[in-house]
Structure 1
């Protein structure tokens, strides 16, 4: 799509923009194409979904291509920033749908890449993740109480939020608070992985143990053949190399409480299907991580060699 008519990230126009779109911008000068399209999607029940198709060019002159799908309409846009490309895509969709922006009014909702949030500047992150999963066809977010600690009058709950291959952990004085905080951290992580406030991250498919058994790649073959009892081995690095080769992700969670022997504790979570969680201990956090990675590698070795 031509960028000759590019004005600013707040309002992208193109040389061949229709009269209808121009009229929309004049009647709603403060609304961007993304906002207008989202309001239409909220009202019609078909929220727009944005996907980054391409990122190229030099660092000083990047070029992004985004697609947007709303109902049966699929459009693309190109621009020097992710936001500009999304505006172009949204504007193209508005042109096809022939939407009069002045007729679209949804005052109680606000936009977060097709995800409904509260308008009081405190987004309902639990709801955002729920709707995001439904909208994208992902598995629903899973919340697990990892640990309860503290005296009865001052309990602390540790909750894990899992979203596809990602995990986040949070602590709160109630399960509800810990769940909400974990969801907020997950939303922040998704935005960080997307490189912007609007979530465009696409999950990797979960790796099944059947795939590991059938793989003949270098690292998994070495894991099957060699012992895992060599002193001073960096098991974290071995796990990192294996995860990159096999396409799964590893997340380490530090447990605040020490063991009865005064050692640090850690959980290593692997984005296999089903999800694998292994425990580790050590005289330091890094040693606990290494021990958890060792346990996880041992488990993968068993699962990758068993028939």
Structure 2
């Protein structure tokens, strides 16, 4: 993809000047306007927020307009790609803030096939989730390596990304690749739950154990009164009913590694405050889930009965 359109409106417009500027950017390892603006926002506790204002033009020649808001400043930028428009907007904001970006690196490097390479601002899903959590006061995303497999020259890593009550799992040939893939899946899930590319999903408020102790609802009352030792009980269903009544979510995480006895393992995570995580094992995945649900119910029963 051509780098035309990334030039700042205040920069020279001649073709020679544009080429010289682009060449200087490529040879300079400095940061992009978006990175500089992000660092400025991080230091000041007010991260920049980007929004797409307009997308028009033909498929082979699109035009995008993005706005960026930081503190009481709002700027727009236009370009032939989303990355270009965001960089223009960030550069304009830096000028208003009187922050000299210097000679920044080219936000888009052309590949031999003419397709723009992904850079820091192209939805770097790990960064997107990090910013989302900071902006909205959510818990920061957590990444856990569940499994490492394969010979030394061809390792395969399985990583889980957890964000609030949601979880996604992905595989990669390195921890970094698996983490990135899991983050991309999480962004996709958030967009799916939001019904559009703009993430509007919000997590349910965390349920504190004080609420469980004070609740006189049917399911929690039955849990306090009845034993959890009846054979062949569907504890997963009991947990589901209780979670719906009390307003928390339950997520089950399968652990690929078997126990020393060859049993399946599972974790049940409850979106309570603090978060509750219980372990379960069984001769099958479903049995492990049921055992984890049983352990979680036992824990809630204890916590909800403390006076």
TM-score normalized with structure 2 length: 0.62
Could you tell me how far 1:155 is from its partner in structure 2? 4.1
Partner of 1:231: 231
Partner of 2:35: none
Partner of 2:124: 124
Gaps of 5+ in 1: 1-23, 47-70, 73-96, 112-116
* SS of aligned partner of 1:222: helix
Residues in 2 aligned to 1:267 and 1:208: alpha-carbon distance in whole angstroms: 20
Residues in 2 aligned to 1:140 and 1:239: alpha-carbon distance in whole angstroms: 26
Partner of 1:250: 250
Query: RMSD across aligned C-alpha pairs, in angstroms?
Result: 3.1
Whether 1:45 aligns to 2:70 is yes
Q: Map residues 132-171 of structure 1 onto 2, 5 A cutoff.
A: 132-149=132-149, 152-171=152-171
Residues in 2 aligned to 1:109 and 1:126: alpha-carbon distance in whole angstroms: 20
Whether 1:240 aligns to 2:240 is yes
Could you tell me how far 1:147 is from its partner in structure 2? 4.3
Q: 1:182 to 1:241 in 2, by over 3 A?
A: same
Partner of 1:78: none
Residues in 2 aligned to 1:110 and 1:206: alpha-carbon distance in whole angstroms: 38
Q: Is the 8 A contact 1:169 1:253 kept in 2?
A: no
* SS of aligned partner of 2:78: coil
* SS of aligned partner of 1:140: coil
Partner of 2:262: 262
Residues in 2 aligned to 1:164 and 1:230: alpha-carbon distance in whole angstroms: 33
* SS of aligned partner of 2:198: coil
Residues in 1 aligned to 2:151 and 2:215: alpha-carbon distance in whole angstroms: 49
Gaps of 5+ in 2: 1-52, 59-63, 87-106, 109-115
Partner of 2:176: 176
Whether 1:304 aligns to 2:304 is yes
Partner of 2:190: 190
Residues in 2 aligned to 1:256 and 1:110: alpha-carbon distance in whole angstroms: 43
Residues in 1 aligned to 2:247 and 2:84: alpha-carbon distance in whole angstroms: 37
Give deviations 1:158-191, integer Å, cap 9, x for gaps.
Answer: 3322212222233333221221122112111111
Partner of 1:217: 217
Give deviations 1:218-259, integer Å, cap 9, x for gaps.
Answer: 111111111111111111101111111111111111122222
Whether 1:30 aligns to 2:3 is no
Partner of 1:104: 77
- Answer with 170-179 or 117-126: which moved more: 117-126
Aligned length: 218
Q: Is the 8 A contact 2:147 2:257 kept in 1?
A: no
Greater CA radius of gyration, 1 or 2? 2
Q: Is the 8 A contact 1:141 1:162 kept in 2?
A: yes
Residues in 1 aligned to 2:84 and 2:212: alpha-carbon distance in whole angstroms: 45
Partner of 2:285: 285
Q: 1:29 to 1:161 in 2, by over 3 A?
A: closer
TM-score normalized with structure 1 length: 0.62
Q: 1:264 to 1:29 in 2, by over 3 A?
A: closer
Q: 1:257 to 1:154 in 2, by over 3 A?
A: farther
Q: 1:285 to 1:125 in 2, by over 3 A?
A: same
